[in-house]
Structure 1
């Protein structure tokens, strides 16, 4: 495969500022996730600056421990237009190591109450030594990105009025 990223786009009936606020809240990420791997935010502070680290508790059946934690570093923060982070892990010595893949959401306001959201998973910066470990990129099926965008749309939508 020559292309080293995948993306999906969905138009949601929600203002870009609201969509961005949901994405900048790590406590919503488990509900957005389309794989079921993201479990809970270990760091619950809103994402407010490039370089910020936020940790997420994860589970994957093929991970050596099953349960594990990722340390994400915010790479892009342009409210309300873009947000993205680089997943990694904390080593025993406390240093962070990143694998080279990034999650990025781009938001295009289409009016006061509608937003085009594009979710991209990009692994073009993954170094050769990680690729040689036999990790498949992307590590999920094609439906994952679309599922995540639909979950995001549901979370960001105003509560229905009864």
Structure 2
């Protein structure tokens, strides 16, 4: 694979502001996640600024610990058009380390009550030392992104 990102796009029958509001609420992320790995938001504050940190409790059967926690740092925040975050972890000394992959949602209005939402997972900035650990990128199948968008669409439409 030459391009180191994958995207999926879906049309929503709601305004972009409503979609953005749900994405900016970390407590909704477990309901949106298409893999089932995201369990619960640790910090429940809305995402309001670039650089903001928020943590999520996770579970993955293939992870050495099963249950684990990730740290996310908001990298993109352009209400209501784009939101994105880097994912990493907190080291034993309290320092944060990010792996170089980013989750990004781009929202475009298609009218007063319709939106196009594109979800992109980009791993192009993953450093070589992480790639050498044998982690496969992306660490999920292509259906994950479209599953996430369908979950988001159900959430924002109140279904």
TM-score w.r.t. the length of structure 2 is 0.99
Q: Any residues of structure 2 matched to 1:40-79 within 5 Å, and which?
A: 40-79=40-79
SS in 2 for 1:99: strand
Query: For residue 140 of structure 2, what is the aligned residue in structure 1?
Result: 140
* 2:120 is the counterpart of 1:120: yes
Alpha-carbon separation, structure 2, partners of 1:113 and 1:45: 27
SS in 2 for 1:101: strand
Query: For residue 149 of structure 2, what is the aligned residue in structure 1?
Result: 149
Alpha-carbon separation, structure 1, partners of 2:101 and 2:121: 7
Q: Any residues of structure 2 matched to 1:26-45 within 5 Å, and which?
A: 26-45=26-45
Deviation, 1:62, is 1.1
Deviation, 1:38, is 0.2
* 2:103 is the counterpart of 1:91: no
Deviation, 1:20, is 0.1
Alpha-carbon separation, structure 1, partners of 2:55 and 2:10: 27
Query: For residue 8 of structure 2, what is the aligned residue in structure 1?
Result: 8
Q: Indicate the RMSD between aligned Cα atoms, in angstroms.
A: 0.7
Alpha-carbon separation, structure 2, partners of 1:106 and 1:94: 32
SS in 1 for 2:27: helix
Stretches (4+) displaced over 3 A: none
1:49-95 deviations in Å (ceiling 9; x for gaps): 00000000000111111000000000000000000000010001110
